[in-house]
Amino acid sequence: MAQILPSIFGADILRLRDEITFLEQEQTQILHVDLMDGTYVSNIAFGPNQIAAMKKASAMVFDVHMMLANPERHIDDVIKTGAEMISVHYESTPHVHYILQKIKKAGRKAGVVLNPGTPESVIEYLLDGIDYVLIMTINPGQPGQTFIEKSLEKIRNTKKMVAGRNIQIEVDGGVNIEIAKKVKEAGADLIVVGGALFNSTPKESYQALKAVVQ
């Protein structure tokens, strides 16, 4: 069974509290929160202060996806938000191992994120220090992109690499109902959904998404 992780970036920013209440009523366990700096990716989204405020207003586990340059400069602030899961892009720093160690030392779950052009083999020497691998199935930064089909192969390969370890596979970008089923079958444990959940019928969409990953 896989889990759907709603991405708050896809929610209505003017109704954030209501969106959080809705997700809690729907028994959401983990909320995916994007942090974008306008440099590492073209978009700008929730910073540590906004994440900390959302965290205070919610009982959900927070999965913060850091998309920023120089993550070593910001990791302490991200840890202070209280997020239980924090991931860092492999490509965003020459010190990815250092960031992962910091996350683990703070008692949080550490994830390494791979862009579509990054091979899964780069995680080989990180396996001892991670709790999850986040496979980007679009290029990070902009909503409404199309799922990259080649990612299914990467999910399957990564699943083999982590066999026998307590490491989960997360997938993020362009997931709809049909793709949720495919990524689950390929080996995804945690499936992030933005636009395909926060649409005109969120309750129905969320339930349908959950049903296909059971």
In the annotation, is 172 catalytic? yes
Sole window of 17-25, 33-41, 69-77, 150-158 interacting with Zn ion (rule: CB under 5 A) = 33-41
Catalytic residue selected from 18, 34, 63, 128: 34
Verify binding: residue 172, Zn ion, rule CB under 5 A.
yes
Nearer to Zn ion, 124 or 198 (CB): 198
Nearer to Zn ion, 34 or 131 (CB): 34
- One DSSP character per residue, the chain reads --EEEEBGGGS-GGGHHHHHHHHHHTT--EEEEEEEBSSSSS-B---HHHHHHHHHT--SEEEEEEE-S-HHHHHHHHHHTT-SEEEEEGGG-TTHHHHHHHHHHTT-EEEEEE-TTS-GGGGGGGGGG-SEEEEESS-TT-SSPPP-TTHHHHHHHHHHHTTTSS-EEEEESS--HHHHHHHHHHT-SEEEESTTTSSS-HHHHHHHHHHHT-
Catalytic residue selected from 63, 131, 172, 189: 172
Nearer to ligand DX5, 128 or 177 (CB): 177
Verify binding: residue 34, Zn ion, rule CB under 5 A.
yes
User: Which neighbouring-strand residues pair with 66?
Assistant: 35, 88
In the complex, minimum distance from the CB of residue 160 to Zn ion, in angstroms, rounded to a whole number: 24
Binding region for ligand DX5 (CB under 6 A): 7, 9-10, 32, 34, 65, 138, 140-141, 143, 145, 172-175, 192-195
Nearer to ligand DX5, 101 or 142 (CB): 142
Which residue's beta carbon is nearest to the bound ligand DX5?
194
Verify binding: residue 65, Zn ion, rule CB under 5 A.
yes
Active site residues: 34, 172
Q: By the criterion CB under 5 A, which residues form the site for Zn ion?
A: 34, 65, 172
